Structure 1
Amino acid sequence: MSSNHPRVVIAGTGSGVGKTAITAGIMNRLSKHRCVQGYKVGPDFIDPMFHTLACKRQSRNLDSFFMDQVTIKNLFGWASQDADISIIEGVRGLYDGLTSTGDDGSTAEIAKFLGAPVILVVNARSLAKSAAAHVLGFKMLDPDVTIAGVILNNVSGDRHRKKATEAVENLTSIPVVGTVEKLHEKLAERHLGLVTTFESDNSKILKQTSDMVENIDFSQIEEIADNAADMQFNINCPFETSPCENVKIGIPFDKAYSFYYHENLESLHYAGACLKYFKPTEGESLPDVDGIYLGGGYPEIYASEISSNKDFIEGLKTFSDDGKLVYGECGGMMTLCSSIVNMNEYKMANIFPEKAVQTQQRQGLSYVKATATPDNFLFAGQEIRSHEFHYSHLDPSPSGPFAYSISRGTGFNNGFDGKIVNKTIGTYMHQHALSTKSWGTSFVKFMSDA
């Protein structure tokens, strides 16, 4: 890809400063006249949905725990090659990563990998001169990170806007590219983050985020992106490929099952699988397929609709009993249990005898390091890096055989994750296909050999 591809990182001074809504608004506005490719730093599923909605093309995750630098730059080059500009939303604060002093896992690390300048979003509520102190600290902490602009969020009128802008520009020499008014209405949230675009009024989201950024100078943002460092990117397909195997894999994709890394689906496609999407919460039954991949999402919110779809849950049980491939991640794994217990108890597929019990307290939020056990018929012996984020646990604690031995993370809270029954695996882990490079080919080979 051209060495001067326009790109910019929208980072924050911390979580909760409004990065996602502001980034989506910027993407939406720029998409009116340019082809915009969106990215999210980190393992998040929901924020990229807002990018995809705003850009009208699939957003991507850039995660340095999952992927090495070469793979990140390859994914970026491949996905951006036909775009005019790339907008990368950060995670947490700009410098926050896996350790207290290092770059690993941080937005700053991705910015340096990609040679991308940074626009820093600052929560300026009740700040004027102190906003400059925030920006100055971020500027000075790492000279290798280019903070090229600032967006001040939560300004409370013209007087506040003027004072905070003058302070930042005069005391840090970094331009304020825009301000965002303090809002009374914010994007809806729940326990795993923002409410997904599958469950929202998307035209309202687009208008809301677009209106938020009306006081941002987009020509400045484009100029900052145009001045990104010269850097060559590999534009070759990053996935393992195989000849068409004529296998079909069913994938529930609706308001209950929407947490899929797009690269996982692409990996299956490039490995030769035909993907058959369906919507269990809308009453659709299992398609005629050779395997099933159940992603995560919010089955606990829509447990009543899932439980009442007998064709789906009984079909899963029969499919598993017949020894066909079923792979469930987090919410998908919960669906494989005997029931989901939330305010009420809802019958599920009963492939696993345990109940999935929803809790108020977070049970797992961590990057995961694991080794696939010898019983894991897809990835035996492989070192696995993944992510988990769940507010449920299994009751009783599951017994083996297990698919993964955990060295970092929670899993089933007993050093293991991934229950195995027949050729069904259910796990709290979300793997990324560019971390486990054989993701797609392993699924397709198993289904074609079965």
Structure 2
Amino acid sequence: MRTSIATVSLSGSLTEKLTAAARAGFDGVEIFENDLLASPLTPEEVRARCSDLGLTIDLYQPMRDIEGVPADEFARNLRRARAKFAVMNRLGADTVLVCSSVSPLAADDDALAAEQLARLADLAQDFGVRVAYEALAWGRHVSTYDHAWRIVETAGHPALGTCLDSFHILSRGSDPKPIEDIPGEKIFFLQLADAPLPAMDVLQWSRHHRRFPGQGGFDVAGLLRHVLRAGYDGPLSLEVFNDVFRQAEAGPTAVDARRSLLVLQEELGLGSLPPPVVPTEVAFAELVTPDAEPVTSLLGALGFARTARHRGKPVELWERGEARVLVNTGPATLAHTRRGSGGGTAADGTRLAAVGLESPDPAGAARRAEALLTPVLPRRRAPEDAPLDAVAAPDGTELFLCAPNAPNAPNAPNAPNAPNA
């Protein structure tokens, strides 16, 4: 299926967000209005930039506090909508997200809400735009997806459909199974997010603590299963408000985001990833340090003994029983320098640089890692070194994939041939 991500999920300027999304392999984006307003680019330039990157603009958002309001307020809302639809035409976006109202002016009147949304859809249709109505979990009168759908159904307008958001649905504990009763063609858009399960105000929970699918406590896969059974065939889009993600580099965050969708699709039988290979045990841990003496003194105090030294690299093997620690006083590797855990390099002090994992199928594990957007890392290897593949964990730690009891593997007598440097 096509994948998309909301620009609000990433850090940086709009140009940086679009570039990160494209490089991570997303097919499209949701343009968050604040990102467009903050950009020096015109809507036409943003449209051209997305086209150059191979991205579609799948949604423009948000439009707030539209429905259920007094006539004079609704007239102002239509003027506001007209200006927004004109911007969407310049962008090349054909679907707008309308959130259920939180305005104190909004009345608890479904018939009025349906009538006004139908009039909004009339105007949208004149611009070639569709309206996707979404229930905010904290909406003043409409806070559940089934309530939003009843209003859309009552309005009965071809340019009006619903947007389903996994956070708004699952944070309220709503049963997602009745989603299957919504005609697929009336589900105009789907937004996915996971979240931990804290006791917290739902608005703060939503705005600051969302996560990508698989990183929280929601059954996002179960909800998606119901949406697909309804006949939805649009993009799987991520809308994740998270303070940490908005401060991290956009590139790695976008890769992590798309990886979450690959795993989610695999869970539903929609992907073709190589099968997972479960490691059998930890073969070794490698520490990089500018000064070996404090590290080796501590290892000695813990009962470790130095059992071997690499022939051509400043690497020693320390063992205690089945525990193996490599102490490396050489320069940091490419992965550690680029994106080390904690943000530093080996010059900053002792750090965990690599973990060796014994695997029944190292090559298969490497293929799965690459399919999940984690390429095998380049490695300087001497002729006598073990042919170990390594991939980078999100924090930059290298994960070596070792065959059990293979020659030159870390548990072999000449283990120091194995470490990287």
* Both proteins in one fold, TM over 0.5: no
Higher relative contact order (CA 8 A, sep 6+): 1
TM-score range, shorter-chain basis?
Answer: 0.3 to 0.5
Query: TM-score when scaled to structure 2?
Result: 0.36
Instruction: Answer 1 or 2: which has greater helix percent.
Output: 2
Instruction: Answer 1 or 2: which has greater strand percent.
Output: 1
Query: TM-score when scaled to structure 1?
Result: 0.34
**Structure with the greater alpha carbon radius of gyration:** 2
